[in-house]
Amino acid sequence: MTIIDNAHIARHGRGLRPVLGVMESLGIGAGRCLEGTGIAVPAPSAGDPQITLDQEYAFYRNILRASGNPQLGLLLGGAFTPETYGILGYAMQSAASVRELLELAYEFRLLTFTHFHLAGAGAGGRFSFRFEPAYPIPDDLLQVFCDRDLSAAVDILRAVGLDRKLILEVQLMHAGKPDSAAYGHHFGCPVRFGCPHNALVFDEATLDIGLPRQDPETLENCRQQCRRVLARVRAQSSLAARVSEILLSRVGTFPTCEEVARRLHCDARTLRRNLEKEGTSFSATLGAVRLALAKEYLGSGMSVRRVAELLDYSEVAAFSRAFKRWTHQSPSAYRAGTEDQLIAKPS
């Protein structure tokens, strides 16, 4: 079973650089953006640090407060060009079709800066490329991350040669406040708010449109390099992955932190400290396991009550509150949404 990877690893500080560039253009310096985050102002020649999820959240709260613009994410998305993603960006620019580009995004999503899982769903001649929260995103940051990542995705598609007019609709999880009309102007297509997930919607035939910069040899070389980088990223998350495996071995009544620590031949304090170094915690890891299982169970048509029991919740209401905090939708709404023909990735 695949458990949510992004919840188990430290975030890469490289994703701060394009954002700092945008903020500088608004007259807001790096010092103000990074104040109180524990992240040092990066020197131009310095490498990019690993940061924790909490540090990234603190950074985004700073820039939202400094800009006074709740729709800042729309502006930030444009800073994430293909080049921002390094070797993955070169791979995307070498893709032969929209389908192949989306497959790259799915396979190497851990090499991006997103807080969302990527998945595809096809129904009624349309294809929906979805962005679903990989872990609970704080309510005050949901809008900026949704806007940033959907805006970046649209700009990347345009950069590799796709006419943005082929995007039929943009779906966003948040309410679009304070100026929902600005979104239609920004994306150039209808935008729906309060959706169960974020998505870009295309005609299904769009997937097989050829891209002008396709280069199979370059793509294969870049893909191999991406796989090596991805292996290194995943190696950083080995402890959280082992904790997840132990939690999964006793679904229904999850072991405590102390019990897991004993299985790993250490004490609970050491386990918590080492998980913190990876940018996560025992409770976050347990939450990620529960979320992954909940989605799988609900997707199979299991009742909400039965899922709550399997995930060791004493009350259905407690599970429902937790699931809504994680995904911003109720378990029953999520289960209804899986009636679409979901696919793990474009094929």
Phi and psi at 46, nearest 5°, equal -80, 155
Distance separating alpha carbons of residues 63 and 143, to the nearest angstrom? 13
- ∠288-258-292 over CA atoms, to 5°? 15
> What distance in Å separates the CA atoms of residue 304 and residue 164, rounded to the nearest whole number?
39
Identify the band that residue 265 occupies on the pLDDT scale cut at 50, 70 and 90.
confident
Q: In Å, how far from its chain's centre is CA 263?
A: 30
Distance CA 78, CA 148 (A): 8
Residue 155 has pLDDT above 70, yes or no: yes
CATH superfamily for 236-338 is Homeodomain-like (1.10.10.60)
Strands 191-192 and 126-133 come out as unpaired
**305-335, pLDDT tens digit by residue?**
989 988 889 899 999 999 988 888 899 988 8
- In the chain, where are the structural domains located? 236-338
* Number of neighbours of residue 121 by Cβ within 10 angstroms: 19
Give the residue among 127, 173, 134 at the shortest CA–CA distance from 150: 173
The predicted pLDDT at position 31 comes to 93
Which residue type occupies 146?
Answer: C
**pLDDT at position 68, please?**
97
| pTM, two decimal places | 0.72
Stretch 216-227: mean pLDDT:
92
Average of per-residue pLDDT across 156-183: 94
pLDDT of the residue at 235: 64
167-171 and 126-133 beta bridge pairing: unpaired
171 has a pLDDT exceeding 70: yes
- On the question of pLDDT at 7 being above 50, the answer is no
Please tell me the predicted confidence (pLDDT) of residue 341: 35
